[in-house]
């Protein structure tokens, strides 16, 4: 079993947070995991992105935006959460989903890019 990889000290954990194996928290821009968040194996939460540079070097300037995962949410195996995203409380992000924008509370989000497929009680 591999360890969790945490890129910086900009991490805020609520109570009873569970982070499984092989998770990468690329948290240069800050990540907040509220109470009772669970993250399944192999998920990636990244707060950094690069602008597209000129033709001689496409990897341009690095920018960061924070990620916030609301209380009680569950991030599925291999899911990717991109910079600047807030996932509302009580959400489920399915395995392999790619979250590119904010998720309203109490929803099931699936796919690439992730979309809300149903309301959760």
Q: Using only the alpha carbons of the chain, give its radius of gyration.
A: 14
Contact 91, 70 (CB under 8 A): yes
- The strand pairing partners of 93, in sequence order, are 75, 109
Active-site entry in 5, 16, 50, 118 = 50
Does the annotation mark 50 as catalytic?
Answer: yes
Cβ-Cβ contacts under 8 Å for 41 (sequence gap 6 or more): 20, 21, 22, 23, 77, 78
Contact 60, 50 (CB under 8 A): yes
- The strand pairing partners of 38, in sequence order, are 18, 74
Instruction: Report the catalytic residues.
Output: 50
């Amino acid at each position: 079993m591999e360890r969790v990889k945490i890129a910086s000290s900009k991490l805020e954990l609520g109570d009873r947070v569970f982070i499984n194996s092989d998770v990468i928290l690329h948290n240069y821009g800050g990540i907040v995991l509220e109470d009772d968040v669970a993250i399944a194996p192999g998920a990636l939460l990244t707060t950094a992105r690069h602008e597209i540079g000129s033709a001689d070097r496409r990897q341009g300037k690095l920018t960061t935006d924070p990620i916030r995962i609301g209380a009680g949410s569950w991030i599925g195996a291999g899911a990717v959460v991109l910079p600047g995203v807030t996932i509302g409380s009580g959400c489920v992000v399915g395995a392999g989903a790619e979250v590119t924008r904010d998720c309203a509370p109490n929803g099931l989000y699936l796919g690439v890019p992730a979309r809300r497929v149903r309301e959760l009680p």
